[in-house]
Amino acid sequence: MEKTDAPYARLPEMALHLSKEDSLKEQCDLFSGEWIPNSSGPPYTNSSCSFIDSYQDCLTNGRPDTRYLYWKWKPYGCGVSPFDAEKFLKAMRNKSWALIGDSIFRNQMESLLCLLSQVEEAVEIYHDETYQSKTWYFSSHNLTLALIWSPFLLKAEIKDLGHSNYDIQLHLDALDNTWTSQYNKYDYIVLSGGQWFLKTSIFWENSTIIGCHYCPGKNLRELGMDYSYQKALELAFRFITTSDHKPLVVFRTWTVDHFEYGEWYDGGICNRTEPYKEGEFSRDPADQVMRGLEIAEFEKAAAIGLEHGTHLKLLDIYHLSLLRPDGHPGPYRKLYPDISKRPQNDCLHWCLPGPMDTWNDLLMEIVLNEGHQRYSS
């Protein structure tokens, strides 16, 4: 599970009280809306799709409630069409996609594969030695989907010390060659940063240590997670906007966790069974800081991209995901957990099927139907 490997100083929580602006109801903003009941439920099940990772297979693992499956995202003033696998596959014949990031993208890729399997089941044709990067192929449509593991987008040396502890050396002036070396292969790119930036990291520039994020006792300057994330986004967008290769690039925003009463390492849980309504939730402002950086860097890159013929779009899942504390595996990341023993919860990744399928509904809307690029408040 991808959260900080040691406790870090969280900013004080503050409640968000977001109003439904009348103006939003008069226009179609895909990313501002509410979750409404949906009696038809998900388009696939845990038994009909073979791509669901066991850690996100909540129904098979014994999650007793199913109400979380019966909601759909309703933007103010318009609707979102359910994912149309046949339409998508026809439009993407002879094309190639890459999703670049961390395990949240693996989660999203599995959702996409499940949605598409209603028409054609993909075949895995590649995996790296760690099984973090994978590629699937749809032979009937000559479509390739690749998952490229690059949790920082930057060059990083990551040593797994066990028990979710890592020694991370992060180079703020160099992108990860894992994805940049393959960039020219793809017609569509979806990328994002994520929760790895919350982990203890040592920062390097010009082959010199310049500081860190959360490294008490190392006598290094604390620069913070927002410092490294801003550097990563700036460098990634500069690479994209100046590249001679011009795929359609979709940037997916920050996804929050929903741990309550602690974090993943000290008993935090997520046992809610329905979505939040506006004003019901408290939020860690650190998430808002990270998303704020994303929006600022995306807007700068989009403006530059217009001058260079770069096609940049925004998949803003931040707010709609924030409203779904009920969508995580919680203790059902493992098969039939003994709740009385307070097992570790996963309140970051998402059950499949579940709310994450909506991310792909929106992705299809953006790519095929030219969905609006405003972002939620």
How many Å is the maximal CA-CA distance in the chain?
Answer: 59
Q: Which of 349, 357, 361, 376 is catalytic?
A: 349
Residue of 164, 186, 146 lying closest to 346 (CA atoms): 164
Q: Which of 57, 96, 102, 103 is catalytic?
A: 103
Residue pair 188/244 in contact (Cβ under 8 Å)? The answer is no
Catalytic status, residue 349: yes
Q: What phi, psi does 132 have (nearest 5°)?
A: -85, -40
Catalytic status, residue 39: no
Catalytic status, residue 245: no
DSSP symbols for 295-362: HHHHHHHHHHHHHHT-EEEEE--HHHHHT-GGGS-BGGGSSS--GGG-PPPB-SS--SSSTHHHHHHH
How many whole angstroms separate alpha carbon 258 and alpha carbon 275?
A: 11
Q: Which of 57, 102, 326, 346 is catalytic?
A: 346
Distance, CA of 199 to chain centre: 17
What distances in angstroms separate CA 170 from CA 19, 141, 253, 358, one per listed residue? 39, 39, 21, 33
Which residues have a catalytic role annotated?
A: 103, 346, 349
